[in-house]
Chain A
Amino acid sequence: MSDVDAAGFDAERESKLLGVLAASRRLFRQLSVEAVASVAVDEARQIFGLELVAVRLLDDGALAPISYTAGVVDVFGGDPPAYPRDDSVVWTAFETGETQVVADTTQIDALRGLPVGSGVVVPLGDQGVFTAFSRERAGFSETDVRLLELLALAVAEALWRVKRDEQLVAAETRLELAVDGTGTGIWEWDLVENELVVHRSAATVFGYDPPSDKTYLTVTEHLEDLLERIHPADVNPVVERIANALETGTVGGGIEFRAWTGQEWRWLLARGQLEHGSDGDPVVMRGVVSDITDLQTVETELRRTSARLEAILEAVTDVVIIYDADGTIRFVSESVTSVLGYEPEELIGTKGGRYIHPDDVSSVLDVVEKARASKTRERIRYRMLAADGTWRFVESIGNGEPIAVGGGYATSTRDVTQQVRHERALETLQTRTSDLMQAETVEDAAHEAVAIASEAFGLPLTAVWRYDADSDTLIPIAETPQVRSVIGPAPVFDRSRGVVWDAFDSGTVQVHPNLRSNPDVYDPETAIETEVIAPLGDFGVLITAATETNTFSERDKALVEILATTVTAAIQNTRRKRELTEARRLLERSNEDLQQFAYIASHDLKEPLRTVSSYLSLLESSYDIEAALGSDAVEFVSYATEAAERMQEMVTALLQYSRVETHANVDSTVELDEALELAMLNLTVRIEEAGASVTTDDLPTVVGDLRLLVQLFQNLLDNAIKYNDSETPTVSISATIDDGRCEVTVADNGVGIEESMRERAFDVFERLDGRVGDGGTGIGLTLCRRIVERHGGDIRLDDAAGGGTAVKFSLPLAEVSS
């Protein structure tokens, strides 16, 4: 049935969707481009079962392979080449930003002659492409393509994040290089520990060898040692200045002095400030020191450094904020205006903490503390106050190592409100997917869908329509309360509403950014301006609308698409469930029918049969049939009698057959030896009459129903003797044990069953003999199969050594094997 296929397919799509959602989270945790590419390839391979997957990124004008599966290496016979710019589909995808699906890859020059049949190329934003190929032609379903696009969206996002981090590192490195060139360095002197931390560019200034492997040099220095390297003529002014600073808490302007570098005296200019502990005592003095021996040069360099710094900061689209150690904002990049709405001057000099959401302050402080303690870069997400009074989700990366020029801590901050909404939406979707999948009815699924759209995705104007084939209309079955308040009850769509049908008929999502500009497609009275229409398979459509033009981002569209995919799966799930319930109901009814049948077989069917037999025997016992009716009549009566006997056996066998299900307890422990012994006892006369020989091995103990297993052996022994024209019918019974199960073989030297007939032998009332024996009910093997299957085993026919039949059946072993 096609429904079963459809159901199977949907379960696959459902699991792929969940796989992609999980992959997105894994991708976002990666810290390098290579790691992102590798995870992307790995996930695509696992989720879609693809062996030919690669991530190519733009590098030096070519799309260079960054990560790829082993299958790709096989195809190329080595590492795949970078693709220089050409007009192939790979570059087309990259340049147009649109997924390219190629049903036949021979049109791609670079792949001509390679053993691939079809492919999909999905752009990764402006960074590269994601390629997936299959050895078969047309190897990608539309669903796979859509899910690959979803995965690519996450890959592009993850790559973007990593690159942003790298950009910040690069900016810091450039700052440091700039500082290096000036002979200017920052220093920090811990007054409590007598520990001096100097930037390596300033090491020589203080007379130390600059470390080659570290940015900062940390030495233990007492003031006296430090003073020893200061020119005797300059010691007093320096000591005075320090004493004054410690006393007043302010350092004041810069101080010039000569210091011994180990080789020569150099003129230095030091600026600095004091930091006080919680008890108000100064604990740290830090500042900038410049070698001003050649003052002219230094001033020039400083100006240039400053200009370069500004340039770097402005190049970064994120908001760069430099905080003092106490959190005072010292510098804010221009980009703050577009991101948070402030003018940089409004913020400079204010405390950074006042823009952090009260609930986030402590976690931000924790991270700042951690970054500064470990001198590492840390990332944190929190809410920041925008100029319009709203709270925006932002993500900041801060360096715990003070910035080289003038101290302070640089942070890069970005508005992630959209992204947070997107991620939360995905998370919510994932948690609520299970609710959705639990939906019992289509209506429940539809209501849950609009609730998710409204509550989780922030898409309040959402409704679901069901396709009604009889009227060829789309009928609303769920809508948010907001839909009702904006447009009243959701309308029934007939065929005149083209935009909706386009989506439903084509099975693709339709976005209409400005409905009012096209009065043909929509009622001009409505308040709706924008719509995303997502088809729900053959079930109906889900529409999300807005009252402003062009309000839906790519992300919103992607979310609606994911939601639609999930809802479709859920709806098909409810159909599957309903089918299952129906099947169960039918099964229950068929069980009842079976019991009813048992009664019919035992009574209603037997009743007339008994009458026939009774009267035939009355005739035979009371009349001389031959004398009264002639010799033919004797034969006729005996045919009728035989037929009645056979029918009675069949009725009895059918009754046994139906009782396998209704009257069995297959959980007992049964010694097969005992079952066989009882079966042979029941067949004593038959075995003796046929002169048969039955041999048996030790048989194991199994889990089952003794009565049924006796019946099983009895039927098999009976068959083995009945369908046997040997002088001495021989039956041997043996068993092998494997992995908690045993396989029993009942082999005979009888007439055998041709291989092509073996499956038919198990059909009800199928008799294959026709030449040997006294016939049978034709239900014996069917009954055997039913008994074995009732025990969870299987039964088959095989050749016996010597030409007869071997019946092999398996049964579950009991815990303690005999």
Chain B
Amino acid sequence: MTPPVQERPTAMRADSTGDSRPFVVLHVEDNPADVELVKQVVGRSDRNLSVTAVSCASDALAYLRGDLDLGTADRPDFVLLDLNLPDSDGYELLEQIRSMPASRSLPVIVLSGSESQTDIQRAYELHANAYLIKPMHYPELQSVLERTFDFWAHAAALPNRHGV
């Protein structure tokens, strides 16, 4: 059942191949203000990024399974996850994402307001790829998200999600 892994390093995909397909971010967040902030980051960035936002866990799962059409053709390359969701807590969603073959190896970055050690630890135990604390000011958010996207889009080698 494991999806075949292609040898092509994804890190080279976006720019050096001249591929115009952007690095697609799925933002799971119920707070419209935060959704807008991330949109601003993506919109203002000179990276080739696109963001799709869902506001609850069930939409996120449906979208990852391919059951929900959000009008975007591309599957996500990356999940930005808030832990506070209306229909489930972020940890449950994280667990479900890790249990589905289609998204098992998808990078999931937790973006949370909580500085609590318990929250941070639990996120990593459930195999989050990173835990980011939401900064207080916009410029810092811009900088931390861009560096994160750069890493996952260019530095990290990931299995090919599009060959499935």
Contacts and interface: CB of A to CB of B under 8 A. Distances in A.
Give the one of B31, B115, B138 with max A CB within 10 A: B138
Interface residues on B, range: 10 to 19
A609 B138 CA distance: 13
Interface stretch (B33-41, B92-100, B151-159): B33-41
Interface residues on A, range: 10 to 19
B69 to A, nearest CB: 30
Interface string A613-640: 1110110011000000000000000000
Interface in A345-397: none
A614 B114 contact: no
Contacts of A164: none
Given A603-B114, A607-B113, A611-B31, A617 B138 contact: yes
Contact of A599 (B37, B116, B134, B136): B116
A599 B112 CA distance: 13
B115 A602 contact: yes
A610 B138 contact: no
B141 interface: yes
Nearest to B83: A603
Contacts of A614: 33, 37, 135-138, 141
Given A602-B114, A603-B114, A610-B113, A618 B40 contact: yes
A615 B39 CA distance: 13
B139 to A, nearest CB: 5
A621 B137 CA distance: 10
Main secondary structure of the interface of A (DSSP, over half): helix
Interface string B28-56: 00010110010010001000000000000
A542 B46 CA distance: 90
A648 interface: yes
Interface in B110-164: 113-116, 134-139, 141
B36 to A, nearest CB: 9
Nearest to A652: B115
Contacts of A607: 31, 84, 113
Contacts of B137: 613-614, 617
A615 B33 contact: yes
Contacts of B44: 622
Given A617-B137, A618-B138, A648-B136, A611 B114 contact: no
Contacts of B114: 602-603
A618 B141 CA distance: 10
B138 A621 contact: yes
A603 B114 CA distance: 5
Contacts of B40: 618, 622
A606 interface: yes
B115 A610 contact: no
A596 to B, nearest CB: 13
Give the one of A603, A613, A614, A648 with max B CB within 10 A: A614
Given A615-B33, A618-B37, A610 B136 contact: yes
Contact of A610 (B84, B134, B139): B134
Nearest to A611: B33
A523 B10 CA distance: 102
Contacts of B33: 611, 614-615
Contacts of B134: 610
Contact of B113 (A603, A621, A622): A603
Contacts of A603: 84, 113-114, 116
A617 B141 CA distance: 10
Interface string A713-745: 000000000000000000000000000000000
A716 to B, nearest CB: 25
Contacts of A610: 113, 134-136
A613 B33 CA distance: 12
Give the one of B44, B115, B137 with max A CB within 10 A: B137
B141 A606 contact: no
A599 B119 CA distance: 11
A643 to B, nearest CB: 13
A606 B113 contact: yes
A602 B116 contact: yes
A575 B157 CA distance: 71
Contact of B139 (A599, A602, A609, A621): A621
Interface in A588-607: 599, 602-603, 606-607
Contacts of B31: 607, 611
A607 B30 CA distance: 13
Contacts of A599: 116
Interface string B77-88: 000000010000
Contacts of A613: 136-137
A542 B95 CA distance: 67
A585 to B, nearest CB: 26
Contacts of B84: 603, 607
A617 B113 CA distance: 17
Contacts of B113: 603, 606-607, 610
A665 to B, nearest CB: 16
Nearest to A607: B113
Contacts of B116: 599, 602-603
Contacts of B139: 617, 621
A621 B116 CA distance: 29
Contacts of B34: 611
Nearest to B136: A613
Nearest to A620: B138
A602 B113 CA distance: 8
Contacts of B135: 610, 614
A609 B34 CA distance: 12
Nearest to B141: A614
Nearest to B44: A622
A648 B40 CA distance: 23
A108 to B, nearest CB: 76
A18 B137 CA distance: 70
Contacts of A611: 31, 33-34, 37
Nearest to B41: A618
Give the one of A599, A607, A622 with max B CB within 10 A: A607
Nearest to A614: B138
Nearest to A621: B139
Interface in B1-44: 31, 33-34, 37, 40, 44
Nearest to B33: A611
A615 B138 contact: yes
A610 B37 CA distance: 11
Give the one of A599, A602, A603 with max B CB within 10 A: A603
A611 B116 CA distance: 19
Contacts of B136: 609-610, 613-614, 617, 648
Contacts of A648: 136
A621 B136 CA distance: 14
B91 to A, nearest CB: 15
Nearest to A603: B114
A24 B114 CA distance: 69
Nearest to A608: B33
B137 to A, nearest CB: 4
A606 B116 CA distance: 13
Contacts of A618: 37, 40, 138
A655 to B, nearest CB: 9
Given A602-B114, A615-B138, 4 more contacts: A607-B84, A611-B37, A614-B137, A614-B138
8 contacts: A602-B116, A609-B136, A614-B141, A615-B138, A617-B138, A618-B40, A621-B138, A621-B139
* Closest 7 pairs (CB-CB, A-B): A617-B137, A618-B138, A617-B138, A611-B33, A613-B136, A607-B113, A614-B138
